[in-house]
Amino acid sequence: MKLIAFGMRKDEVGFAEEWAQANQIDVEITGDLLTTDTINQAKGFDGIIALQTIPYDDALFSEMQKMSIKVLSVRNVGVDNIDLVAAKKHNIMVTNVPAYSPNAIAEFSVTQLMQLLRKTPEFNLKLKANDYRWAPNISRELRSLTVGVIGTGRIGRVAMDIYKGFGAKVIAYDLHPKPELKEAGLYADSLDDLFEQADVITLHAPATKENEHMLNRDTFAKMKQNVLIVNTARGTLINTEDLIDALKSGQVGGAALDTYEFENPIFNHDLSHVDIEDPLFNELLGMTNVILTPHIAFYTETAVKNMVEIAFNSAQQFLTTGAVETEVK
């Protein structure tokens, strides 16, 4: 059995090498992203480990089939840019990492909300200007607020537990309600009901066609004045232009965004010596009531180790048994 891992970052390499040694499997590691231009590096290998950051289309899966590659294991949850129909057509098994560390993302989302609530960005600017006055940046306490959690998968449920620990009232919405949460009466009657009740809305939903621009001009209008938005899920869940308008009008009081609708050319790249030619992103950067981070909610040692090991284990399991628990269907 031979595996090749594409797009490996330095922080992943050690975990991959440890896995290869422990399992006595031949593993090739490259920092190159998996594309139709680099797929030729996979000749002679049985499976590919990759990070899904760019679209994987029919042309790519066609090349995999020609090389007799049998499995593509992605080291992340999201598969929104993978053409699963094409993968099936070319007999390529696709696996993902359904849960690498729900705590990492849930904890980060709460951390960012606390910064919004305590006006940290505004006070940082005042400190830089030698202005040490408190007013008018008075805060609200989390225990006095209603937090609306959209998406009650593993991450959403951990976030709910954390918010409850702060004493906040927690309500939730999910297209596929969890029986135990429904029995506990934690679900709002509808998404509109959640919008009307919540002082904070935190997104933990996947990027699907149904969820695209879930938050937009119309839905912002249904929310409480001065609502706070937290997004550590997927950038496409929010219509960015509509969010900026809502921030300017005061309908949205602040936003903590670890994902951005058009993030791929920006996040995890060193752009310190170039101008970012994205007017929406630049406008968000200039807002004092917006906290932007470059998709780092997942980025902990525990999460990275789990992402690497689960992806390699999935490829090994499929190549050994012909079936795998982490198959993307």
Q: Choosing from 154, 157, 204, 295, which is the catalytic residue?
A: 295
Contact (Cβ atoms closer than 8 angstroms) between residue 112 and residue 256: yes
Q: Choosing from 75, 154, 204, 263, which is the catalytic residue?
A: 263
Q: Choosing from 157, 234, 261, 309, which is the catalytic residue?
A: 234
Neighbouring CB atoms inside 10 A of 322's CB total 9
Neighbouring CB atoms inside 10 A of 167's CB total 11
Query: Residue 252, class by beta-carbon neighbours within 10 Å (0-12 exposed, 13-18 middle, 19+ buried)?
Result: buried
- Closest by alpha carbon to 118, among 144, 135, 141? 141
Query: Residue 64, class by beta-carbon neighbours within 10 Å (0-12 exposed, 13-18 middle, 19+ buried)?
Result: buried
Residue 17 among the catalytic residues: no
CA distance linking residue 153 with residue 77, whole number of Å: 12
Residue 157 among the catalytic residues: no
CA distance linking residue 133 with residue 323, whole number of Å: 62
- Closest by alpha carbon to 238, among 256, 266, 260? 260
Residue carrying structure tokens 């198959």: 327
Q: Write the DSSP symbol of residue 7.
A: S
For every residue of 178-221, DSSP letters joined together read -HHHHHTT-B-SSHHHHHHH-SEEEE-----TTTTT-BSHHHHH
Residue 295 among the catalytic residues: yes
- To 5 degrees, how large is the angle CA 8–CA 53–CA 201? 120
Active site positions, annotated: 234, 263, 295
